[in-house]
Structures are given as C-alpha cells and as structure tokens.
C-alpha cells in the first residue's frame, strides 16, 4: 500500500511540515520505500518532483523539506509497490493535460486486474493506479463539457470512484489546481487549520510547529492524509465511501457513497 498527502489552502502555503512527517514513513517510520512524488500547483503551472528512492533518505526530498515551496493545492504520495516495478514511470503523482489545465492524481490501494478501455490518455508505466487515472481522464473528456462546474465533476468522479472501490481498494486524490477531490475507500483523514492557530507535533519525527507564527488570521489550510500526521490535533477520519471536494481550504461538496 501507499500513503497519500494532499493540501488545499486559501493562500499559498508551504507543505514542509506535513511533507517532513509523511516522508519519514518512506523507509524510516513506515515501509513505503519504493519511491515518492509531490506536485505543487503555482497558478496554472505545476511543479513536480519524483524519485524512485526511499523518501526518508532521498536528497531531493530533503531539499524540499527545507525549501518552502508555496502552493494553494498540492498532492504527495509515497509508494510501497504492489503492482508495477520500482521505477520512475511508476511513481505517483501522475499528470495529464485536459482542457488547458494539468490534472494530477495519486492513489492508495490496488485494483490489480483493472483494465481500462482504450482512449486518448494512455499509461506510460505499468501500475494499476496510472491505468485508473487514464480511465478517469478519458471518461471526463468524453462525458463532461469543458466548462463543467467542480460539483458536476465531483458527481461523475464519485460514480467512477464507487465503481473502482467495488473492484479493490481505492483511496485517491485528484486535482486540476482549482479544486481537490478526495475519495476514501478504506482510509483517509483530514484536518482544517484556521485561526486561532496553535502548535502541532508530528507523529513521525521530533518536529513541532507553531502555526500562529507562520500564518495570518485569514488563512485556511486543510490537509488530507492516509493517516493523521500529528499527535496533538483532532483529525476527521473519513468513513469508507466518504468523499470531499475541497477548494481554497474549505469543503465545497461532500457525501457518502455505498461501496
């Protein structure tokens, strides 16, 4: 299995604190040592880092931990390989362009025998996750108008996710930079931080942060992760089938699908 980390914020925010926590699980406090990747949106652009080495010891990961890349939306993934070899092409997040935006996807779970219909988007590597992502992108391109609202999109995404979750484990993060769609098939947690901000301590590293000194009173920053990343805050645990659509740090749509 893998671990996911997503961020949705109303102001460009760095992910250093959460990223530091998550990457420990890539070979140090957790077994997810088969590569890692992160994508940060900056406007319509996206800055991605991918590495097939363990995140806990990766030089690139260590540079990101200390280099505050600010973003309103970010998606991160650390991998424990099930389907597909350990190599760069199999490292999440996966990215494709649709309607002049970059869409970014990361998946936790497995749908080993998943075989997508042929379409415009094709996988480059050989993971089930990338096959699913291409299936999602082909379906959206074929069935939605380019000016679809985030809520119209979410409706389609929930139906697709429901279908995948019936065939295996399907926790996912998907974004086009404007919104962040999150679906829980087995495990996902979230937290929204807003004023009054307090301190927080990572579960996986001896690191504490005082969010008050890093934020303004209007900031709203939400983090979604496979498991809570801090030990002294209250995280919301998604139920199986629960989904949330985030924008600017807030939930703008949510629901519960039968899976």
**Positions marked active-site:** 2
Output 180 or 225, the one with its CB closest to a copy of itself.
180
**Shortest gap between Cβ of 70 and a copy of itself (angstroms)?**
12
Please tell me whether residue 143 adopts helix, strand or coil conformation: helix
**Shortest gap between Cβ of 218 and a copy of itself (angstroms)?**
24
Output 153 or 253, the one with its CB closest to a copy of itself.
153
Residue given tokens 């996807």 in the structure block:
105
- Asked if 6 and 243 touch (Cβ cutoff 8 Å), the reply is no
Output 102 or 114, the one with its CB closest to a copy of itself.
102
**Shortest gap between Cβ of 231 and a copy of itself (angstroms)?**
31
**Whole-number Cα distances in Å, 43 to 76, 155, 223:** 18, 25, 19
* C-alpha–C-alpha distance, residues 114 and 128, integer Å: 6
Output 137 or 209, the one with its CB closest to a copy of itself.
137
Contacting residues toward a copy of itself, per CB under 8 A = 42-52, 59-60, 63, 67, 87-91, 95-97, 99-102, 120-125
Q: How many CA atoms lie less than 13 Å away from 163 in the CB half-sphere?
A: 13
Output 99 or 255, the one with its CB closest to a copy of itself.
99
* CB burial of residue 144 (10 Å; 0-12, 13-18, 19+): middle
Using alpha carbons only, give the angle 253, 234, 217 rounded to the nearest 5 degrees: 70
**Shortest gap between Cβ of 62 and a copy of itself (angstroms)?**
9
Please tell me whether residue 61 adopts helix, strand or coil conformation: helix
Strand locations in the chain (E):
3-14, 36-42, 45-51, 70-78, 94-98, 101-108, 171-175, 180-183, 189-193, 199-201, 208-210, 221-225, 236-237, 242-247, 250-256
* C-alpha–C-alpha distance, residues 86 and 152, integer Å: 36
Q: How many CA atoms lie less than 13 Å away from 236 in the CB half-sphere?
A: 15
């Amino acid at each position: 299995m893998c671990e996911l980390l997503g961020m949705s914020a109303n102001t460009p925010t760095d992910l250093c604190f959460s990223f530091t926590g998550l990457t420990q699980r890539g070979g140090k406090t957790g077994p997810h040592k088969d590569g890692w990747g992160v994508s940060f949106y900056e406007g319509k652009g996206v800055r991605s880092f991918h590495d097939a080495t363990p995140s806990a010891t990766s030089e690139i990961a260590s540079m990101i931990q200390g280099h505050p890349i600010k973003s309103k939306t970010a998606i991160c993934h650390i991998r424990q390989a099930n389907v597909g070899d350990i190599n760069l092409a199999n490292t999440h997040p996966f990215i494709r362009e649709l309607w002049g935006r970059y869409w970014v996807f990361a998946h936790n779970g497995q749908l080993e025998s998943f075989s997508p219909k042929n379409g415009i988007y094709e996988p480059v590597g050989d993971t089930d996750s990338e096959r699913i992502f291409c299936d999602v992108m082909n379906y959206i391109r074929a069935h939605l108008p380019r000016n679809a609202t985030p809520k119209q999109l979410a409706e389609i995404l929930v139906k697709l996710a429901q279908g995948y979750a019936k065939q295996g484990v399907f926790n996912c993060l998907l974004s086009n930079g404007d919104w962040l769609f999150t679906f829980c098939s087995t495990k996902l947690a979230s937290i929204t931080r807003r004023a009054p901000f307090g301190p927080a301590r990572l579960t996986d590293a001896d690191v504490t942060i005082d969010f008050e000194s890093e934020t303004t009173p209007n900031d709203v920053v939400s983090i979604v992760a496979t498991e809570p990343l801090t030990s002294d805050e209250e995280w919301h645990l998604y139920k199986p089938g629960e989904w949330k659509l985030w924008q600017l740090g807030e939930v703008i749509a949510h629901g519960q699908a039968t899976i």
